[in-house]
Amino acid sequence: MPEPIPVNDHVTLPGEEITLAYSRSGGPGGQHVNTADTRVRLTFALSATRVLADAVKARLRAANPSWVHGEGDIQITCDSNRSRKRNIDEARRRLAAAVRAALVPPRPRRPTRPSRASRRRRLEAKSQRGELKRSRGKVSEE
């Protein structure tokens, strides 16, 4: 069973909800690459976890739609390193960072209105542009 993943001071993802699978990774590595299963697939049971609130789960799914698989589980694949240990650490770090970002609720948008001065400047610019276009015209030949 994998170790729990600490996200911040208050949230830790339990190890029971995390599974790791290994496979052969592509890329350079010589003869070693044909024998070592260094690619890591970390799966987190997001739909079954009780550690995260439903709003946090929804934000996590929305922020990383390519990670969501099956019944709402999150899968992170990492094969950027030639070492299995480094790939495990990288996948755990990615999951913790994504959960940490999802824990912060988005700031609500407060609608704003243009100021009186900005409306006045806009109307003046429009009237100046209209005057410029009106001044163009056929030149009378006298």
d(CA 41, CA 25) in angstroms, rounded, equals: 11
Low-confidence ranges of the chain (pLDDT < 50): none
User: What is the reported pLDDT for 1?
Assistant: 74
The per-residue pLDDT for 98 is 94
93: number of Cβ within 10 Å: 13
How far is residue 138's CA from residue 134's CA, in Å, rounded to a whole number? 11
pLDDT at 26: 72
pLDDT in tens, 112-121: 999 999 999 9
d(CA 17, CA 93): 16
Site of tokens 């003046």: 124
Query: Tens digits of per-residue pLDDT, 125-138?
Result: 999 999 999 888 77
pLDDT of residue 127: 97
Q: What domains, with CATH codes, occur in the chain? A: 5-103 (3.30.160.20)
